[in-house]
Amino acid sequence: MKYLWISVICCVILTEISRCQAANLTFPSNFSIGAATASYQIEGAWNTSDKGENVWDWFTHNYPDSIADGSNGDVACDSYNQYEVDVALLKNMGVDFYRFSISWSRVLPNGFANEVSEDGIQYYKNLSQLLIANDIEPVVTLYHWDHPEILEELGGWTNELMVTWYADYARIIFEELGPYVKRFITINEPTSYCLNGYNATRFAPAKILENMGHYICIHNTLKAHATAYHIYDDEFRATQNGEVGLVAYCRGWVSGDNVTDETIEQYFLFNCGWVVHPIFAGDYPEIMKTRIANISALEGYPFSRLPEFSDDWVEYINGTADFFGLNYYTSRLPVFDSDEDLGIYTIDSGVIENVNSSWSVGASDWLYVVPEGLGNLLQMIRDTYSNPPVWIMENGYSDEGESDDYDRISYYYDHLSVVLSAINDDGCNIEGYTIWSLLDNFEWADGYTKLFGVHQVDFDSSNRTRSTKLSATWWQDVLSTRELQAVPTANSTRR
């Protein structure tokens, strides 16, 4: 009997050790955690100093009915005037870095490099210097969807000249902010503004262009990104020693009815590979080129709606990233479109995105909470692109502005658990994670009706007073201990 109890005790001890090892909640020593915002969503000061009009200024002013609450970013969080308050919030949380974006029209009021705003440049220098003084690394996004309106009137991202105009802008940012910034993001989520802005009317500039505007938009965006990367490589890297990459929005997936390895691969390549494949593997995925060419022919076009890169451009774009920038929020159940069995081709990808009715969903109707899908996505990136260093540059949860935001904390906990498992168990090379968002802010077509912030903003107050949500307090504990903390309950005492 004695030996039986010894065996039981040993079994219990070994089980607990195994559980601890499987649930390692400590972040690696070199793992960075930060918070993010974007210029149009928080800055306000839309016509302060000599700032020019951007596409979102124009869109929200001319088509307010396109925004859920008829609002705009004219004042937003007033971070142009309140950036010192924002830095204090970041310092209190204990983040390693702050990802913010540059307003192209604040730096180049008329869109072109012949007129540079000293006030605009100085604002971003002041912000960068204050972050550094508080031991917070500035991470800069050059373009987060708000290009000058004059450039849109000239065709925007459907005009190949945009590549040159963007490159001129990028060179100025590298020159002026490079001494302070060691991580640049050229462009944020090309699929979001290309699909929603050039093949739909949800985002500025709200153009539907013959089911090909989004493909032309991505084509020129990738050329612009690569050109900016090479400018940094050739002119600034030797003295600034920074890194440059692009951030893609990618959805994950999980198993379910009719979800197969084939549907998963096709979904990944159309959803994520469209943008990252030319950078990490050279050219668009073959399945994209083949399917879109074939469907275009069936539609009577004498060309593929997906533009073709020349051999020179394929070589020029390939390898233009020092890290894999990833924005992740949600996942789907990808299944083949059964209409294709009848010879009906309505979706270029051939994949339908299903959801499971049991999944919980945030305030945004597209944001189903599926942490497992992030793990699947990270493994696919590892296997497809030779395990590049991954920086998760956005991850977050929307609600309606609750200060005791338990669901948001639960979302963070579950997704960070997956990230740690991907690092410790799956060998994924993940170097950083970014909270979206530091503040409640203007959420594009949703206006101020859906909110992602870990800090509340009083949009009725003249100075946009900030207040701390429970999630910011939770993050403070996570960052001070460098360990994932338990999700508090409603009965927990709030500090």
The answer to whether 146 and 139 have CB atoms below 8 angstroms apart is: no
Helix, strand, coil content of the chain in percent (nearest 5): 45, 15, 40
Q: Which of 152, 176, 394, 443 is the catalytic position?
A: 394
pLDDT digits (tens, 9 = 90+) for 198-223: 999 999 999 999 999 999 999 999 99
pLDDT at 12: 36
The closest alpha carbon to 220, from 156, 284, 173, 283, belongs to: 156
Look up residue 256 and give its two tokens.
């379910």
Is residue 438 a part of any domain in this protein?
yes
* Separation of alpha carbons 82 and 256, rounded Å: 47
Q: What is the mean pLDDT of residues 25-40?
A: 98
**Beta strand pairing status for 243-249 and 351-354?**
unpaired
Q: What is the mean pLDDT of residues 69-79?
A: 98
Instruction: List the alpha helices (DSSP H) in 180-336.
Output: 190-198, 213-231, 237-240, 261-268, 274-280, 286-298, 311-317
Range 428-447 burial, b when 16+ CB lie within 10 A, else e: bbbbbbbbbbbbbbbbbbbb
Count Cβ atoms within 10 A of the Cβ of residue 415 and give its class: 0-12 exposed, 13-18 middle, 19 or more buried. buried
Q: What is the mean pLDDT of residues 148-177?
A: 98
| pLDDT > 90 in the chain, percent | 94
pLDDT exceeds 80 at position 30: yes
Least confident window among 1-15, 296-310, 352-366, 450-464: 1-15
Is residue 486 a part of any domain in this protein?
no
pLDDT at 23: 57
Q: Which residue has the higher pLDDT, 10 or 358?
A: 358
Is residue 289 a part of any domain in this protein?
no
Count Cβ atoms within 10 A of the Cβ of residue 224 and give its class: 0-12 exposed, 13-18 middle, 19 or more buried. buried
pLDDT exceeds 60 at position 3: no
Look up residue 236 and give its two tokens.
């600034």
pLDDT at 8: 36
Which H/E stretch holds residue 380?
helix 371-384
Q: What is the mean pLDDT of residues 154-166?
A: 98
Q: What is the mean pLDDT of residues 357-373?
A: 98
Is residue 355 a part of any domain in this protein?
no
pLDDT exceeds 70 at position 357: yes
The answer to whether 228 and 244 have CB atoms below 8 angstroms apart is: yes
pLDDT exceeds 60 at position 398: yes
Q: Is 118 a catalytic residue?
A: no
pLDDT at 4: 38
What is the rounded average pLDDT for all residues in the chain? 95
pLDDT at 7: 40
pLDDT at 9: 37
Instruction: List the alpha helices (DSSP H) in 241-364.
Output: 261-268, 274-280, 286-298, 311-317
pLDDT at 38: 99
pLDDT at 21: 39
pLDDT at 324: 99
Which H/E stretch holds residue 339?
none
Q: How many structural domains compose the chain?
A: 1
Instruction: Give the number of other Cβ atoms within 10 Å of residue 88's Cβ.
Output: 14
The answer to whether 388 and 381 have CB atoms below 8 angstroms apart is: yes
Q: Which of 189, 210, 299, 372 is the catalytic position?
A: 189
Q: Is 315 a catalytic residue?
A: no
pLDDT at 48: 97
pLDDT at 77: 98
* Separation of alpha carbons 437 and 451, rounded Å: 9
The closest alpha carbon to 176, from 230, 99, 123, belongs to: 123
pLDDT at 411: 98
pLDDT digits (tens, 9 = 90+) for 309-343: 999 999 999 999 999 999 999 999 999 999 999 99
Which H/E stretch holds residue 443?
none
pLDDT exceeds 50 at position 105: yes
Is residue 87 a part of any domain in this protein?
yes
Is residue 260 a part of any domain in this protein?
no
| pLDDT > 70 in the chain, percent | 95
* Separation of alpha carbons 292 and 297, rounded Å: 8
End-to-end CA distance of the chain: 50
Is residue 375 a part of any domain in this protein?
yes
pLDDT digits (tens, 9 = 90+) for 115-156: 999 999 999 999 999 999 999 999 999 999 999 999 999 999
Which domain covers residue 414, as residue numbers?
A: 28-250+322-334+364-481
Is residue 263 a part of any domain in this protein?
no
User: Any idea what the CATH number is for the domain that residue 79 is in?
Assistant: 3.20.20.80
